[in-house]
Structure 1
Amino acid sequence: MNERVESEDTHSRNRECKRRRDEGSVTIYFITATAAFVLLTALLIDFARIAAFRKQAEISVKSGVRSALSSFDPIVYEKYGLFIRGGDSANELFLETLQGNVPETGSSGALKFLDTRWEETGVTESRPLASHDVFNRQVLEEMKYKAPIDLTLEMAERFGGLSSAMEEAASTVDLLEKMRKAYEKREAALDGALAIQTDVGEAIQQLLAAEVNDPPIDVNTGATAGSVNTIVDIAVGYEDYVSKRQEDEARRAAQRAAEEQKDLETETEETKESDDKEAVEDVVLEGPKYEAIVISYETGTNALAMTLNNRALSIISRSNEAGEDAIAKWLIAKEANEEMRALAEQAKVMPTASSTEQADGEIADETQSLEEIRKTADELVLEASFFEDYAAEIGEQRTLGQLLGNEASAFSSLAVSVPGSTGKGAYLRDGASRLQNGYSNYNRLYGANGTVGTNRLKVLQAHRSKDNEIKQEEQKARSAWSGATNFLASLSGATGSEEDKISFEQANELYRINKDWNHSEEEQARVEASSDPSAGRDQAMSETSGLLKLLEGSALGIRDQLYFSEYTISRLSRYDPVWIKGMLKGEDAPLDIHLQETEYILYGINNPAGNIAAAYSEIFAFRLAIRTMEGLIECRSMGHPLLVLAAALVYGIGKALMDLRQLVENGNVQLSKTIKVDTVYSDYLRLFLLAHGGSSNQVARMIAIMEHATGLDFRGAYTYASAEGSASVRLWFFPGLLKMLGKFGDLGGTVKGNRYESTYTADSSYQ
């Protein structure tokens, strides 16, 4: 029994021990789980604080860099609409903004969730306004809404509808000018060919003038032989020469026989000897009677034969050379004529210029009139038969020259055989007749006042009936052009004050500095005004037509040039025509560079009056193009296309110069005869800026102008800021553990002691 009780007690104690052991295990497990939970919670709290800290720091840096740029130069903005850093220090503004974003400390007993502390801060400024890329972006930003509206409302309205007519006029002038050049080339070649024909004809005439009679002399009548000057002298004196020569030969034979007889008879009677002697003496007294005449005839004949042979060779050589040279000129003329034919055909099929603007009735009529003028170009083309006839004429002259040379050579050969000959009279007479007739015929056709040359000149003059009038109009154009260039030269004659010159030098030096700093290419030299009015007109027509086409399409694709043009006009000065009026009257006019900023930017001439003169020269060219278009229509009744072209140029120069004077006197000028819209000086500057503005050199000059006006160096005028700030926050729990965790993952910062630190950057710019 007792054993059972003891056994039960033992069993109870064992159960109690087991219960206590189980309760102890649960307590340790709970404590372990609680500790892990507390640790995880602490880490999550610090992680949450770090995340909040990072977001706040990032926002603060971005806000700080924007605050730094909020301090901009008010003068540059007000005057030019551009932004550059100015005012307070960027670093101070940045740090002030960062400190302002740190939460208030509050009461001493309050719990601060974040105790942000900025360790290091700094702002780096860059992208100066002196850089062309930066400058252009700001200009584009300034003008991207305003420029197209201004252009549409002002420029397109003023110049609308003129583009198609100017394009048609430019095409007409271009075609007629090409026709004029080809016409002059053709006529010069034809004149050259005729001159060659005339020269060789007169030269051949002169070559035989002394030896061959013209008009021909009848050689069938005999004449006394003697000195020989012409081929007729040889032919008509031949029979007498033979007779006298034979008589002298007989006398010489008798004389020789008598002398021989005298030598053989040594022993004869005195009386007989005396008689024989008397007889011999008689023979001696009657020796050769015509020796001088015979010698003169033979000497003259030989000399003339030699001369005639040389003349014959020269005639043949010159005829061949002249024929080749004349044909070469003929080919040039024919090619020029074919060029003119092609141009005339082109004029017939050339499409009429079109415009995006609906042209009114008057503009349409002008366009049609210009098209009709172009089609008259075929009146200048010569028919193919003209050249066929002329080529045959040149060939015939060459052939006749060769035949004449051959006749002269043949007679020369015959004349060489005359001394000592007999029975050649008929041949000499026949040869002399042929040579005389050939020479006379050649002279009649090709000599001085020859019928062929005279007739050919009449044929040439037939299609040159208006040449004198054309030359008169061209002379008027040269005179008018000289007057216009003198007027424009008078604008550049002003020297300005010493202060003006200094300002230009200073601005130009700033321009060179900026150009070199941006590594801009060298600016092309401006083309000097031509002394030839036709060349000046052609350049004006081409540039004006292209400019108006550019204006039509500006809203569609010429963004940069358009914005540059409108920015320049809206922000920078231009020279008032009122001062030009005074300048032309001899009065002193202000020429400070800041009164003509637009002109200096456009042309870049480093003297007080040069840019103004350049602007008015370009306006004159523009007005010349418009007035030439009108002149073509006004003068079309003259008929001959080249006369119309020349007269239109005279009209254009005169009217353009009047327009220039009116612009100076009144400040405005009507656009054209049909488009009755007043245009002012600034309208033309806008067009020129649109046409050739916006180059790197012009941007450099614009920056130079702004630097000179403000006294700032835009190389230090920054438009971009990059800010960096390093901040830290105190860790509440287990900084060591976080530092260890940072070795296995990216915490976005570093743990230093009991603080977490991270660095943030932000960038901002004005464009």
Structure 2
Amino acid sequence: MKRFLRTENGTVSVYLILIIVPIFLFQAVLIDFARIKVAEKETESAIQASARSVMSSFNPELQKRGLYGMGLSQEASEKLLNDVFARNVSSGVSANTFKFINTKAVDGALRVTPVYTLASHVIFEEQLLEDMKLKAPIEFTLEIVDKFQKSGVREPFHTSSQFVKDADAIEKLIGQRESLLDEAWQRAEELHGRTTEFHGYYRTRVAELDKFAGEIGIHTVDGVRSEISQVEENLRSLTTSIRNMDLSLASLVQAGPEAAASIRSLAEAKSRLEEQARLLSQKLSELEALVQKILTYTALVISTKLEVAVNERTILQLQQEIEPTLRQAKQKNDEIRMKLTGVSGSSTQANSAASDVFQHVSLMGDDYFYQYQTSIAGIASLFSSFRSAVDGVMLYTSVHTSKVNQANDNYLEVSNDFHAKQSPLEKSRMTTNEATTANKQAQKNKIQAIMDQAKQAIGGCPVSNTHSGDSVAYRKLQGESGYYQRYRQVNAQDTMIGNDVAYDIEKAEPASLRAMDMLGVLNNAAEILRDELYVNEYALTKFNYRTYGLEKDLNGNPKLSNELVDPGTHSLVNQEVEYLLYGFSSCAANMASAYAEMFSLRLAIRTVEALLDPKKELLQIGSPLLVFLAAAAQGAAEALVDMNALVKGDAVELSSKLSTSALKLTYKDYLRLFLMLHSNNSKLMSRMQALLELETGIDLNQATSYIQANATSEIRLWFIPQVMRLLDGTGLLGCKVVGTHCQMNRAAVVSY
């Protein structure tokens, strides 16, 4: 054994084996590693090509509407994925050729996973923007921006809109000031009434106390009660003496005639004692009556002090209510003054005829509030002095009575003087306010009468479908678990029906003021964000509206749609854009909102025209709101005429008095503006999705536009799989060794 270990035979062979075997192992691993990497690239290319092939099968109905979603079922898409993948890996090549790699798909390992669908607002909007990126700017620019910018109406719109904002703000301040002054005067009237009531009451009370004091004099309860005790003692002594005399008389009577003289003498003495007792009893009654008067007087004095204290709190409470109210009224008056100063210095209102009304707005001078508050404080202070005078008197002597009466007269004198001076001012102010209010109401009544006519003219729903087809369609759109709610839920949004903005023509003043607010927004019409513009234009080109088919081109022919699917053939006839805008569950509600908003805008424009030449007599009244309401009443009548033309498909001139060039807008143009003014893309897109499903019958939750394709392929290892398995955990391979094969997972993400 020792010799075998020390022999040198075969040393070179062993040495060569130690050198060649590692080299062989390295070459084997390197060859399989290279084959794996090539297979990985092949798999990635195959899955990318397969995914693109699956996405190429889009739905033609959606494509006609500028949208792209897969038109294959899940089963069909996975079959197509398998077929294309198999043809794009090396195992799909002819079996008669040598293959350095032989990549093949693992059975059942290829799948298609829908990631996003057209139900997603993000995906839906991306496709809308892509479809409209060329058409929308041209349409919007030609129809709105150029016309609006060249018309010259921006400045008068801005001026009038600002006038109404200033008028509304000042009118609100005036209303708040007048309401506070009314409240203060109501309390001041109550204060005057209370002082008059208290003065008469305490005049009578002081006279009563003075009478009691004269009857009581300088007596005190203790003194009188001491005297009563003395009288009672004397009366008891006399009573005892009389009783003893009665006993003596009885004894003398029994003694016989000889005691007659003694009996007469004793009887006379008893008579004298009885007279004294009678007089003492009378005096005792007088003293007890005096005690009662003293007690009554004392109680009356105490109750008077308590009553005066309670009444003082009433007066002070009224003062504490009046003075803060006056301070608030003065603050509102100061705000009006500041607002008027700002308006008069504004370049916006410099050329506005209606702005002359601001010069006639009534302002209260600071002395008005100073005199008011000083008088109220004086009345309260003098009543407190009266309370102090009452507190300081216990015995109403003539001096004290005169002092208290004088204090009682003082506060009434100031109260009467204040009331005599302030009452005419307040009555004049309130009379003016009543006349102005009546005038405003008259203008509101005029506006309301025209609005009532407008309500009767709304219409717009196809008669044949109003009670049948439309109701069924709207139930599908927005009934319980309707399309709209489903798409809102998919995008994690609320399912509230209707728009955030709802217009009506119910009330004259709010509708008129709100209409003028639209002009300020309208001035920025050309500055709308691009994405919102594209979405809005998609709505106007892919869906119908009230006057679709009625509008004429320059040659007088009906305007035709250039879309692959004519919106005029949709199941909801001439009402889809109105639904997109307002989102109510009936044709009537959506049409009414569109009509009301359009009427409001026309009302605003016509009101602006009327404000250019306001009535002079209204400016003198000093009520900015009255001037506005009078202009609105005139504008409402003209707006109704405009609406009658618009709903017939005619174009109506924006304003002949304001614009330097003709600018005519149609019903569709106004819908375009409203889509811009009330931009709410999330709700708008949910309604679009609902309409698309209603029209095509395609659930957009199933219209996949973004997929992930996954595939697992494998390659057979030529050499030593055990060595490759050792490398499996290092992350170098990019595949997993399973038996004699290496399996690799690859994914591809593709979207339209």
Structure 2 residue aligned with 1:166 = 157
Inter-partner Cα distance in structure 2 for 1:40 and 1:323:
106
Cα distance 1:77–1:390, how it changes in 2: closer, same or farther (>3 A)? same
Residues 526-554 of structure 1, C-alpha deviations (whole Å, 9 max, x = no match):
557475433223333334423543x3432
Which residue, out of 475, 492, 495, partners 1:519? 492
| 1:565 positional shift | 1.6
Task: Give me the whole-angstrom Cα distance separating, in 2, the residues matched to 1:33 and 1:451.
Answer: 129
Say whether residues 1:668 and 2:657 are aligned partners: no
1:592-619 per-residue CA deviation (whole Å, 9 max, x = no partner) reads 6353222212212112211111111122
**In the alignment, structure 1 residue 618 sits paired with structure 2 residue 597:** yes
Residue equivalent to 1:456 = 425
The one of 126, 136, 148 equivalent to 2:115 is 126
Measured at CA, do residues 482 and 37 of structure 1 come closer, stay the same or move farther in structure 2, by a change above 3 Å?
same
- SS of the equivalent of 2:720 reads helix
Counterpart secondary structure, 1:334: helix
Q: Which residue of 2 aligns with 1:538?
A: 513
How many pairs does the alignment contain?
A: 598
Query: In the alignment, is the contact (CA less than 8 A) between 1:53 and 1:114 conserved in 2?
Result: yes
Alpha-carbon distance, 1:504 to partner: 0.9
Distance 1:577 1:329, change over 3 A: farther
Distance in 2 (CA, whole Å) between partners of 1:457 and 1:327 is 16
2:679 to 680, 693, 704: 693
What's 1:553 paired with? 527
2:81 to 80, 94, 111: 94
Structure 1 distance, partners of 2:148, 2:533, is: 16
For residues 114 and 441 of structure 1, what CA distance do their matches in structure 2 show?
Answer: 119
Residues 1:154 and 2:143 are matched in the alignment: yes
Cα offset, 1:572, TM superposition: 2.0
- Per-residue CA deviations over 1:67-110 (Å, capped at 9, x if unaligned) read 1000000101102x111110472123222322333469888875
Distance in 2 (CA, whole Å) between partners of 1:403 and 1:30 is 131
- Structure 2 equivalent of residue 720 of structure 1: 706
Q: Which stretch has the larger CA shift, 84-93 or 320-329?
A: 320-329
In the alignment, the residues of structure 2 paired with residue 610 and residue 107 of structure 1 have an alpha-carbon distance, to the nearest angstrom, of 68
**CA separation of 1:533 and 1:369: change in aligned 2, threshold 3 A:** farther
- Partner Cα separation in structure 2 for residue 40 and residue 403 of structure 1: 118
Separation in structure 1 between the aligned mates of residue 487 and residue 742 of structure 2, nearest angstrom: 47
Residue matched to 1:177: 168
The residue number in structure 1 matching 2:244 is none
Q: 1:709 to 1:591 in 2, by over 3 A?
A: closer
Relative to structure 1, the CA distance from residue 466 to residue 649 in structure 2 (aligned partners, 3 Å threshold; closer, same or farther) is farther
CA distance in 2, matches of 1:445, 1:756: 111
> Are the counterparts in 2 of residues 477 and 646 from structure 1 also a CA contact under 8 Å?
yes
* Aligned match for 2:333, one of 306, 330, 337: 337
- The more displaced of 691-700 and 123-132 is 691-700
SS for the counterpart of 1:382 is coil
- CA deviations over 1:203-254 (Å, ceiling 9, x no partner): 9999999xx9xxxxxxxxxxxxxxxxxx9xxxxxxxxxxxxxxxxxxxxxxx
Q: 1:669 to 1:25 in 2, by over 3 A?
A: same
Amino acid at match of 1:93: L
Q: Distance in 1 between matches of 2:516 and 2:156?
A: 11
Amino acid at match of 1:501: S
CA contact (8 A) 1:592 1:608 kept: no
Which residue of structure 2 aligns with residue 743 of structure 1? 726
Q: What is the identity percentage for the equivalent residue pairs of Structure 1 and Structure 2?
A: 25
What CA distance in whole angstroms lies between the structure 2 residues aligned with 1:724 and 1:319? 88
**CA shift for structure 1 position 714:** 1.8
For residues 350-399 of structure 1, the C-alpha deviation after alignment (integer angstroms, 9 at most, x for no partner) is 5x56xxxxxxxxxxxxx642498178357432333444455677789999
How far apart are 1:740 and its partner, in Å? 1.7
Q: Give distance in 1, aligned partners of 2:649 and 2:97.
A: 80
1:117 equivalent in alignment to 2:101: no
Structure 2 residue 334 is matched with structure 1 residue 347: no
- The answer to whether the 8 A contact 2:710-2:746 is kept is yes
Amino acid at match of 2:511: G
The yes-or-no answer on 1:649 pairing with 2:645 is no
- Aligned counterparts of 1:478 and 1:116: Cα–Cα separation in 2: 86
Give SS of 1:126's match.
strand
Three-state SS of the structure 2 residue aligned to 1:719 is strand
Q: Specify the alignment match of 2:284 in structure 1.
A: none
- Could you tell me how far apart the structure 1 residues matched to 2:534 and 2:584 are? 23
- Give SS of 1:86's match: coil
Asked if residue 383 in structure 1 is aligned to residue 357 in structure 2, the reply is: no
Does the 8 Å contact 1:168/1:370 carry over to 2? yes
Alignment of 1:408-447 (within 5 A): none
Instruction: Report how far residue 332 of structure 1 moved.
Output: 5.1
CA contact (8 A) 2:504 2:592 kept: no
Deviates more, 1:656-665 or 1:376-385: 376-385
**Deviations 1:698-730, CA, capped at 9 Å, x for gaps:** 332222111111112222221122222233445
Paired position in structure 1 for 2:444: 477
Counterpart secondary structure, 1:716? coil
> Residue by residue, what CA displacement relative to the aligned partner does 1:14-52 show, whole Å, maximum 9, x if unpaired?
xxxxxxxxxx99999999999998887776665554444
Q: Distance in 2 between matches of 1:608 and 1:194?
A: 53
**1:333: Cα distance to partner?**
4.1
Listed as ranges, the gaps of 5+ residues in structure 2 are 1-9, 208-303, 388-394, 552-567
In the other structure, the counterpart of 2:469 is: 499
Residues 64/717 of structure 1: CA separation in 2 closer, same or farther (3 Å cut):
same
Q: Which residue of 2 aligns with 1:257?
A: none
Whether 2:67 is the aligned partner of 1:82: answer: yes
Deviation by residue 1:462-481 (Cα, 9 ceiling, x = unmatched): xx879746733541223322
**1:414-459 CA-partner distances (Å, limit 9, x unpaired):** 9x99xxxxxxxxxxxx9xxx9xx99x9999989xxx9757853686
Q: Structure 2 vs 1, CA of residues 476 and 751 (structure 1 numbering), >3 Å: closer, same or farther?
A: closer
Moved more, 651-660 or 615-624: 651-660
1:276-299 per-residue CA deviation (whole Å, 9 max, x = no partner) reads: xxxxxxxxxxxxxxxxxxxxxxxx
SS at match of 2:488: helix
Please tell me whether Structure 1 or Structure 2 has the larger radius of gyration of its CA atoms.
1
CA–CA separation in structure 2 for the residues paired with 1:40 and 1:327: 102
Separation in structure 2 between the aligned mates of residue 750 and residue 331 of structure 1, nearest angstrom = 85
The CA deviation at 1:574 is: 1.8
1:669 positional shift: 1.9
Equivalent residues of 1:489, 1:613 under 8 A apart: no
Structure 1 residues 658 and 391: alpha-carbon distance in aligned structure 2, compared to 1, 3 A threshold: farther
Contact 2:504 2:511 in 1 (8 A): yes
1:85 aligned partner, one-letter code: M
Q: Which amino acid aligns with 1:483?
A: I
Note closer, same or farther for the CA distance 1:163–1:738 as it changes in structure 2 (3 Å cut). farther
Q: CA deviation at 1:402?
A: 12
Q: Distance in 1 between matches of 2:452 and 2:569?
A: 23
1:632 and 2:611 are equivalent in the alignment? yes
Distance 2:570 2:360 in 1: 53
Match of 2:483 among 505, 510, 526: 510
Could you tell me which amino acid in structure 1 is paired with residue 546 of structure 2? Answer: Y
Q: Structure 1 577/180 Cα, relative in aligned 2: closer, same or farther at 3 Å?
A: farther
- TM-score, normalising length from structure 2? 0.64
Aligned to 1:600: 579
